[in-house]
Amino acid sequence: MASPLSVSVVSADQQVWTGEATMVVARTVEGQIGILAGHEPMLAILAAGEVRVTLADGSKIVAEAADGFLSVDNDIVTIVARQAALV
C-alpha cells in the first residue's frame, strides 16, 4: 500500500477537515486534478466546486470549496479556501 497523504481542508474561519487519505480530487481553474502519494510539488488556484478525499477504507469525504488554492508538497495536501464546508 502506498504511503498516505496528509490532507487539510481549511476555510477563512475554520479547519473543515484534516486527516490521512489515499487520493484527493479537486477542480482548479485549469481543470480537475487528482493527487496521489508521490505527486510532484505544485500550487494551483481552486475553481468553485467539490473537493473529494478518498480515505484508506474507500470511503469519501466531500467538501464544497471556492476562492482559494491547493498546495502539494511531500505528500502533504493543503486546500485553503475563502469558503469551504463539508457536504
- The predicted-structure confidence for 19-60, as pLDDT tens digits, reads as follows 999 999 999 999 999 999 999 999 999 999 999 999 999 999
Torsion, Cα of 47, 41, 74, 37 (10° steps)? 70
The DSSP 8-state label assigned to residue 58 in this structure reads S
CB 46 within 8 A of CB 72: no
Read off the CATH number of the domain in which 44 is found: 2.60.15.10
pLDDT at 72 over 90: yes
Per the structure, the complete domain to which residue 10 belongs is given by 5-86
C-alpha cell at 14: 475554520
Of the two residues 27 and 1, the one the predictor is more confident about is 27
Question: Hey, what's the cell of 20?
Answer: 490521512
Total structural domains in the chain?
Answer: 1
Identify any residues that bridge with 81 across adjacent strands, giving them in sequence order.
68
